[in-house]
Structure 1
Amino acid sequence: MSDESLVVRCQLGEREAFAELVRVWHGTVERYVRRMLSRADDDVVQEIWLAVVRQLPRLRQPGLFAPWLFAIARRAVMNQLRQSYASPDTGPLDESAAEAAGDPLPDLLDRELIDGALSALPPRDREVLILFYLSDLPLEACAQICAVPVGTVKSRLHRARRLLRAELLRKGYEA
């Protein structure tokens, strides 16, 4: 069943459709949050789903559910990052938490190395890599989520790939 039909069914009040929508997208949302924050954060994930429940009836284009969902997730993640930056007693982010969640990555690189390199990138660069490569969203959807033109997404991807490559080399990975 497509996301669009699930969204329409949710808007009509079918609880089973919402449960299916959550089942389909929950893992993706958790991975996005974990990679953006460099740690798992169930509170942020829960905040995202609460926002979806509240705002889903107002979604006018059910076919654009994925970019809409990621825009909500992005807002929640950025709010969390702002809070952690403002809090002076916040310690370094725990990279081992990212390792504990179980999503498979290509066998080319060690998961810990990738997560560590991603967490070292600035949030804007990390975000476009996660959206485009790890969430398999098209450039147009990435642009919509980040609220920037497609050209800006392309330039951020270019910069992020360069920074990620440099970070991986710094951490000892040799291509």
Structure 2
Amino acid sequence: MEQAKVELLVMDAKQADEQAFTELFQYFNPGLLRFSYKICHNEQLAHDAVQNAWIKITKSLKQLQDPRAFKSWAYQATRWQTLDLIKHYAKERALQVDEPIEALAQTLNEADDVLLHHINELPDIDKHTIHLFYLEQMSLQEVSLILEVPVGTVKSRLNRARKLLKQKMDN
């Protein structure tokens, strides 16, 4: 979806247009689920976190000043909700790692599977950066906002992660 259309949908959704909000939800929800799952490695927790993020987004959408920031704002809300739920559930019981999200697993071919395996072996900070930049195709600025680090740090993490992936793939 083009950025201009997203901005128009955000402006309409701010005016309580349910259809516009539904379109935003349908467009962004799959990416938010993948991102949340990448953080927590638990499908149910990822669904809960994304649902909580959408509730927060719904309640505070009118306060969003710049419609261009919606994407990074939604991913940031998802990140916060995922981390909150991880903390909450970690106190109650140890998290169990689920099988990968089936829809994502079905779309991978063998080469993608090997690459995804190597990405999953990266340290979390690098793995999240790679996921947002390459798999969700976000800009450096968007990744910076979501992970709450400077753009230079995002560049460093991407560079380090690419080097690590190259070493793993060459072995």
TM range (shorter): 0.7 to 0.9
Whole-Å separation in 2 of the counterparts to 1:30 and 1:12: 26
1:136 maps to 137
1:101 aligns with 2:87: no
AA aligned opposite 1:97: P
Whole-Å separation in 2 of the counterparts to 1:61 and 1:139: 18
CA deviation vs aligned residue, 1:25-81 (integer Å, no higher than 9, x gap): 111111111222223231112111111111111100011111111111111222234
- Over aligned residues, Cα RMSD in angstroms? 2.4
Segments of structure 2 that go 5 or more residues without pairing to the other structure are none
1:65 maps to 70
Whole-Å separation in 2 of the counterparts to 1:31 and 1:57: 26
1:150 aligns with 2:148: no
What is the percent sequence identity of the aligned residues? 28
AA aligned opposite 1:161: R
1:20 aligns with 2:20: no
User: Contact 1:132/1:142 (CA < 8 Å) preserved in 2?
Assistant: yes
Whole-Å separation in 1 of the counterparts to 2:161 and 2:22: 35
Whole-Å separation in 2 of the counterparts to 1:29 and 1:80: 15
Whole-Å separation in 2 of the counterparts to 1:161 and 1:80: 30
1:5 maps to 8
2:94 maps to 90
TM-score (norm 2): 0.82
1:53 aligns with 2:58: yes
CA deviation vs aligned residue, 1:77-120 (integer Å, no higher than 9, x gap): 22234345x448415522x233x233634x46243x44443333
Distance 1:49 1:114, change over 3 A: farther
User: Contact 2:127/2:161 (CA < 8 Å) preserved in 1?
Assistant: yes
Distance 1:120 1:92, change over 3 A: farther
TM-score (norm 1): 0.81
Distance 1:109 1:6, change over 3 A: same
Whole-Å separation in 2 of the counterparts to 1:114 and 1:43: 27
Distance 1:32 1:58, change over 3 A: same
